[in-house]
Amino acid sequence: MIERLTHPISRWPKRLIELGFKTIFPLRCGGCGLRGTAWWPACNYKLQPVSRKRCTRCGLPATSDNDCEACDSLEINLLVRVFAKYAPPLSSAILHLKYRPNKELANVMASWLTNVYRREAWHAHLVVPVPLSAKRHRQRGYNQAGLIACSVAEELGIQYLPDGLMRIRETGSQVGLNPTQRRINVQDAIQGNKSALHDKNILLVDDLVTTGATTIACAQAAEQAGARRIYALAVGLAEDWRKKSKSHRRGGPMTIQVEINVKDMELSERLQDYVVKKVGKLDRYLDTLEEAKVDLTYAKSARSAQDRQVAQVTVMGKGVLLRAEDRTEDMFASVDLVIDKLHRQIDRYKGRRWKARGDGRSAAEVAPDIPDVEIDENEQEIRIARRKRHLLLPMDEQEAIEQMDLLGHADFFVFLNANNNDVNVLYRRRDGTLGLIETEIA
């Protein structure tokens, strides 16, 4: 009897810790952000499946039922399938998993991929994640593709091999590159484990695929290591850069994916259409914008009725992250003011990019002039009026200066220093220059 109880009891402390952690920090849906679970079933209805007209080899959208031109020129035994388009709520979930090791959300994504695997009737011997560079792995502490791949292997009962493929050299970010530049960027950057992959069918797993350059590089490395056949599964398919640039040149429809979240209020059809119309036009001023998250809130605790209709808009794109907030007594007016702020931020962003080409000016000189904050000296009691959660992303000091400017933080910016993994605070001094606080634990 004692032997039968030994193994379960040994797991009790770990399970109690997990239960306590989930109680203090309840799960949020990776798609809609609601508390309670890693993924609400209601978000499934918003997923956008990949078009049926796709290449029979790479799985990417094609103009005909035949293989695309890129696959015709490849001599690799590769088959790729993608679950859905990279659009809300899937895009929010992928971004969430990219910066937070959410095992429950990875399990959800894995269940989607295993259904695709079984539908295609593939037969793989090993599950291998698309490798992350050593630098990014040190910064994040995990590989998001590895979390999904591990869960896929467990569900399919296939051996998981996290080091089946390795990056043997650091590569630059793929964001903003065209397909040819992407292929050059990852060329000869990945190496396969010959002793493990020889004469095996492998299943590559990734969170996102855009042009397939990284997937092809992984497949080539696996084939050179002796793999017999390579299958690949990805959760999301990002919009082809060529389609987006083409629509901009021809004055086509908006390409920004707009996600609207409301709190303590109802979203009318008129307000929804107004927000989508206003936010959707931002890509006319900066064509690299791809996504926008709009948070509309009725702040009951606001002292004045003129501050209760709060609108916050966050727009993201290739190398761009802008955020603005405003509040009035009318939500339509709040949205208008936020859009005006974003227009000014876009203008500053374009100007800063132009000035960064070599005029020799410092970050403090490029930063916009911020008016002083008025303080009421008669205020006797100081209270916390608002709480905000801030995601600490690994970055160097120059990236922190850039983000502080882009996000419109006038006085300070908190970040995780990628060089030493310490929490640092970037702040603006009275003379307009910038200072850095390096924290230490006593």
Predicted local distance difference test score (pLDDT) of residue 422:
85
Q: What confidence tens digit (pLDDT) does each residue in 198-213 have?
A: 999 999 999 998 878 8
> Are 265 and 231 contained in the same domain?
no
> Are 220 and 93 contained in the same domain?
yes
- Cβ distance 228 to 77 under 8 Å? yes
Q: What confidence tens digit (pLDDT) does each residue in 179-204 have?
A: 676 777 777 889 999 999 999 999 99
Q: Domain of 73: which CATH number?
A: 3.40.50.2020
> Are 356 and 264 contained in the same domain?
yes
Q: What confidence tens digit (pLDDT) does each residue in 137-172 have?
A: 887 789 999 999 999 999 999 999 999 999 988 776
Closest CA relative to residue 99, chosen from 129, 144, 133, 130:
144
Q: Domain of 429: which CATH number?
A: 3.30.505.50
- Greater model confidence, 106 or 412: 106
Q: What confidence tens digit (pLDDT) does each residue in 252-309 have?
A: 445 688 888 888 888 888 888 888 888 888 888 888 888 889 999 998 887 777 788 9
Q: Is the pLDDT of residue 367 over 70?
A: no
> Are 222 and 321 contained in the same domain?
no
Distance CA 290, CA 317 (A): 5
Q: Residue 82 class from Cβ within 10 Å (0-12 exposed, 13-18 middle, 19+ buried)?
A: buried
- Domain containing residue 407: 391-442
Give residue 377's pLDDT band: very low, low, confident or very high (50, 70, 90).
Answer: very low
Element (H, E) at 313: strand 309-317
> Are 231 and 324 contained in the same domain?
no
> Are 268 and 231 contained in the same domain?
no
Q: Is the pLDDT of residue 23 over 50?
A: no
Q: pTM here? A: 0.53
Q: What confidence tens digit (pLDDT) does each residue in 404-414 have?
A: 776 666 678 88
Q: Mean pLDDT score of the chain, rounded to an integer?
A: 77
> Are 292 and 431 contained in the same domain?
no
Number of domains in the chain: 3
**DSSP H helical segments within 49-123, as ranges?**
69-72, 90-99, 103-120
Predicted local distance difference test score (pLDDT) of residue 58:
65
